[in-house]
Amino acid sequence: MSSLPVYSREALQADPPYLHPPYASTRLRSPREPLVIVPHTLSELSGPAFGHSDVRPEDADLTAHGQGQPIGERIIVHGRLLDEKGRAIPNSLVEVWQANSTGRYRHARDQHDAPLDPNFFGAGRCLTDAEGRYQFTTIRPGAYPWGNHPNAWRPAHIHFSLFGPCFLTRLVTQMYFPGDPLFPFDPIFHSVPDAKARERMIARFDLQATRPEWALGFRFDIVLRGPEETPMEHGR
Amino acid sequence: MSVTPSQTVGPYFQIGLIHERWSSLAGNGERITIEGSVLDAEGVPVTDAMIEIWQPDNKAFGRFATDPSTGRFAFETSRPVSMGPDAAAHLCVGVFARGLLKRLYTRIYFDPTAINGNDPILSLVPYARRPTLVAVSTGDRRYRFDIRFAGEGETVFLEC
């Protein structure tokens, strides 16, 4: 019988709790009972595989989905998808969605009084390459108000959805921009208890990735839970 | 290296995550339908939740949003089969929503007698709460499975 990969639970400590009262929506949506801690069976250690039929090359360029160019500051967001041991996670689906440059989402429930952009839809996807790299071209999203508390504003962010190799590596997170003055006031950003862990959600400006006369570059590496070395890898 | 922390999907995930092709799960065999509601701690329908289904026995993936006016969902798949001598047939369920800072994980079992069996995960759940993980047959290959975030009949959520 082949041995299954072994995942530690240490990584779970970086995550926010379910109940974080400053973020009002957690109050009625967080479980009251403790989670049941379960062993990792084949069900948690397997997961969906996606391929090139799930993405088209143009899906990674969010500025190319309309009839014309969207308004705003054009940016390149790129990075690597890695596991805790620093190993690349190749051929893995990366999905993003975001507000436009005015801070408005193309969604029926977004009633923020800021203009929609007919040339910006705000969704993209790609597969990581053999070295775990991904890259999107998009528009820098705007900050926007929300109803959590008086004068509440979300710092600008891009939503990221990642799969990794199995069910237990699934992650949805948000990428923030360096130096955002709204960080101290945002209960979602601060739901992550550890300051160092919060910093891992902030992209860094990347002059090397900047395309002269075209777009600013930002780098955002994403780290998913990774398996310990399996007994198989120690040789036999 | 340290992991990137989780953040909520927020209320606008449909823009990036909902595609018709994942609204039912691929697979051969007897087709079944599972329907239900997602409910908050006060029993109010959650009209902006996203559900992901992983079916390990036939490696099928599904993803859909709850109905924006009723909080209900329904999906079709092939009937799961057991993957081991003690393991009861099940689906893995991930729930995401505004107000959920990280995914909730639960399972859907189908055999009501499984709560008395030796499934490696179901047997770790306090006996009285096990029925929250078992879909209720409503006949004609249909099942009902509600997801309650908290309160009366709170669904058992798992940490993996």
Query: Among residues A48, A41, A54, which one has the least CA distance to residue B61?
Result: A48
In a domain, A54, yes or no: yes
Output the six-digit token pair for B120: 């490696």
Q: What angle do CA B81, B84, B86 make, to 5 degrees?
A: 105
Whether the pLDDT of residue A56 is over 90: the answer is: yes
CB B12 within 8 Å of CB A110? yes
Sheet order of strands, A93-98 included: A123-127, A93-98, A157-162, A171-176
Number of compact structural domains in chain A:
1
Nearest to B14 among A40, A107, A224 (CB): A107
Question: Given this model, what pLDDT does residue A3 score?
Answer: 82
Question: Is ipTM > 0.95 here?
Answer: yes
Fold exhibited by the domain B13-148: Protocatechuate 3,4-Dioxygenase, subunit A (2.60.130)
CATH of the domain at A167: 2.60.130.10
- Of the candidate ranges A53-57, B106-110, B123-127, the one whose mean pLDDT is the lowest: A53-57
Is A172 near chain B, with CB under 8 Å? yes
Mind telling me the catalytic residues of A?
105, 144, 154, 157, 159
CB A73 within 8 Å of CB A213? no
Radius of gyration of chain A (CA): 19
In a domain, A210, yes or no: yes
Is A6 near chain B, with CB under 8 Å? no
Q: Which residue range is the domain that position A192 belongs to?
A: 48-227
In a domain, A23, yes or no: no
Euclidean distance between CA atoms A232 and A66, whole angstroms: 50
Q: What is the pLDDT of residues A148-181, one digit of tens each?
A: 999 999 999 999 999 999 999 999 999 999 999 9
Output the six-digit token pair for A222: 């994403």
Q: Is A118 left (phi over 0), alpha (psi -120 to 50) or beta?
A: alpha
Please state the domain extents for chain B: 13-148
Mean pLDDT, to the nearest integer, of A26-50?
97
